[in-house]
Amino acid sequence: MSGRVELVWIGDDAPAYDHGASHPLRPARVTLTRELIRACGLLDAPDVVEVPGRDATNRELALIHAPAYLDAVRRAGHGEAGPWWEHGFGPGDNPVFPGMHEASARVAGSSLVAAEAVLSGRARHAFNPAGGLHHAMPARASGFCVYDDPALAIAWLLAGGAARVAYVDVDVHHGDGPDAIFAADPRVLTISLHQDGRTLFPGTGFVGDRGTGDGEGTAVNVPLPPGTGDGGWLRAFEEVVPPLVEAFAPDVLVTQLGCDTHHLDPLAGLVLTTAAYRRAAAVLHDLAHRCAGGRWVATGGGGYQWARVVPRAWTTYFAEMVGTEVADELPASWLARASALPGIGGGGDLPTRFSEPSVEPSGDHAAVAGVLAEVRASIFGFHGLPG
């Protein structure tokens, strides 16, 4: 396998995946991430390249999405009238926007470019920061997500010859799309660490939701209480993810790297700092090499402090993929560019460093320990691990 690492850029010609100016999912977060990666010199490292994304074809999208849904997305985005609410569209989370199919197909196709790079051996790791739209279902949009690119990448990898795929989702919201789509498929291990669904959208992802039929035990959900900080979250991550991924022995590791777990994020209640992302990146990198032959497909995900948090978080992950440690101080050129944008991620001055002061969590450590005990008792035995 090549030692190459690829950053997949959706392309300057891509129709904007943009729900509107008042929507919390801001396209600028992806552009700012790319610019910070560049400003930190990560694309100048040996064997690191930026590659263009592409559109997913209808045939590829149909690996997980219903043809009638694909038709509805296209027609809605072209301004046709219809009962689009039947497919999850309408005011609020999932408004129809112009070019919706084309923009969504480019995001999904860019995750397929990452999957192609890794499965073919062209690259060791590949990252599509525009991806990670993990709430979309086969026939319904949900949670800002039109096409489920992480699930599509997994389905494409299986169709292309991968025997087993492990999916790790660290978004603050339950990774319900891949969980549901592969619930009965024993070839796919899905692990989602998220804020407890009793307190946050989409209201799913409980420990007892562990897959069905032949896939029972391959859906792993770790619902954490609001207020969980770096210590509790990292304990949950390290006690659950490495042993299960190692026991599953996947051919490819796929990750969704949502950073809406951050203490500044306006849409959720976990209180992580960038220190947790740095540690999670190192653990995932080690797992990719130890358990999946180095094959790591990464996508972005949630994150609604789009200037203050998201670029730092995803650049931290990409630096780990590249194997380079960036200077703690953010580049002045990037700060000047980001500071010139209106409404920089919720107001206030931009941080000037990747690192940040620790936050004293209000979460209940005993509650985290209880969740972990429940996960071990419910799941570990399916993988030959002690509960």
pLDDT at residue 1 is higher than 80: no
CA 115, 117, 119, 125: dihedral to nearest 10 degrees? Answer: -80
Closest CA to 134 of 56, 205, 217: 205
Catalytic residue among 19, 135, 173, 194: 135
pLDDT digits (tens, 9 = 90+) for 231-285: 999 999 999 999 999 999 999 999 999 999 999 999 999 999 999 999 999 999 9
**Tokens 């890794």 identify what position?**
118
The pLDDT, as a whole number, for residue 346 is: 46
For residue 96, name the pLDDT band (cuts at 50, 70, 90).
very high
pLDDT at residue 12 is higher than 60: yes
**Tokens 């777990």 identify what position?**
261
pLDDT digits (tens, 9 = 90+) for 302-334: 999 999 999 999 999 999 999 999 999 999 999
When the candidates are 3.30.200.20, 3.40.50.300, 3.90.230.10, 3.40.800.20, the CATH number that belongs to 5-383 is 3.40.800.20
Neighbours of 323 (CB within 10 A): 15
Distances (CA, A) of 264 to 42, 228, 302, 306, 347: 26, 13, 13, 11, 11
Residue 135 annotated among the catalytic residues of the structure: yes
The pLDDT, as a whole number, for residue 385 is: 98
Which DSSP category does 325 fall into? P
Neighbours of 12 (CB within 10 A): 7
Mean pLDDT of 12-35: 94
Indicate the angle between helix axes 310-322 and 28-39, nearest 10 degrees. 50
For residue 102, name the pLDDT band (cuts at 50, 70, 90).
very high
* pTM of the predicted protein model: 0.97
- Amino acid type, 169: D
pLDDT digits (tens, 9 = 90+) for 175-225: 999 999 999 999 999 999 999 999 999 999 999 999 999 999 999 999 999
Assess contact for 305 and 266: CB atoms under 8 A.
yes
Round the average pLDDT of the chain to a whole number and report it: 96
